[in-house]
Amino acid sequence: MRVAAIQQTNTADLQANLDHSLSLVRDAAAQGAELVLLQELHRSLYFCQTEDTSVFDLAETIPGPSTETLGELAKELGIVIVGSLFEKRATGLYHNTAVVLEKDGSLAGIYRKMHIPDDPGFYEKFYFTPGDANCNDGRSGFTPIDTSVGKLGLLVCWDQWYPEAARLMALAGADLLLYPTAIGWDRTDEQDEQQRQLDAWITIQRAHGIANGLPVLVANRCGFEQSPADESGIQFWGNSFICGPQGEFLAQANSNNEQVLLADVDLQRSESVRRIWPYLRDRRVDAYDDLGKRFRD
């Protein structure tokens, strides 16, 4: 199956951003992609650099305008599209939510970001409520979404640093792990520090693929976005990538340029890899009780 991860720059023009995303999705489909992953919050600038109540006006319902537009395109092209939206679930209740549009245009499912950061320039706790640990139908919050191209283990940005999240998706039967992302550098950091951060980000996600025997798709934005508060901002570091179940790179973007990243993924390889590296077989589930604790004092 050919898959694609879209790496793009954004502006303050919401409609222009969406139109550009749609154009890039068309480009991916024209090159044979059956599954296309868009970056985190692809409809707008990354607004979490400051805390501003007026920004909540950007949020929309799901289903809503963006899911309708993405669904129409998915149906037209006969592909599965994964988008990332600022969801208004109810008055005063907002989520950072990934959406999956099936080949027939229907909404196959959603995933609400579970881990919410709160760091300088990434004030997400002000805007987003974490996804529910258990959904209304009794499922875990870490539940893959069934689609015509496989079970998609969707996780969003800060989720990508947590091996527990990837493992739970794998245990629930995910065929692929997908990470829509918005992450970058503070430009005042020294170059060596910037490189360490980037290397850590790539390594942790490749490790999730290896530890679970699954392909991984990562779509990150690129370009500089200035903070609304001052002259600071975030240089989004791009480097979107697709890797196989042994962490092998199948495709990787650079730091600076927009790109439609394409790769051919063989889902049967997960079966082969798990036969020689049977991590799930050898897990000591009887010895992991302390994982349910915040810290072992």
Q: Which residues participate in catalysis according to the annotation?
A: 40, 113, 157
Q: Is the peptide bond before 63 cis (omega within 30 degrees of 0)?
A: yes
Measuring CA to CA, how many Å separate 60 from each of 10, 52, 70, 90, 202? 18, 17, 14, 10, 31
Q: What's the half-sphere exposure (Cβ side, CA atoms, 13 Å) at 2? A: 12
**Two structure tokens written together for 275:** 């036969």
Q: Quick check: 71 and 107 in contact, CB under 8 A?
A: yes
Task: At 69, give phi and psi (nearest 5°).
Answer: -65, -45
If we measure between CA atoms, which residue out of 21, 35, 38, 95 comes closest to residue 62? Answer: 95
> Left (φ > 0), alpha (ψ -120 to 50) or beta: where does 169 sit?
alpha
Maximum C-alpha span of the chain: 56
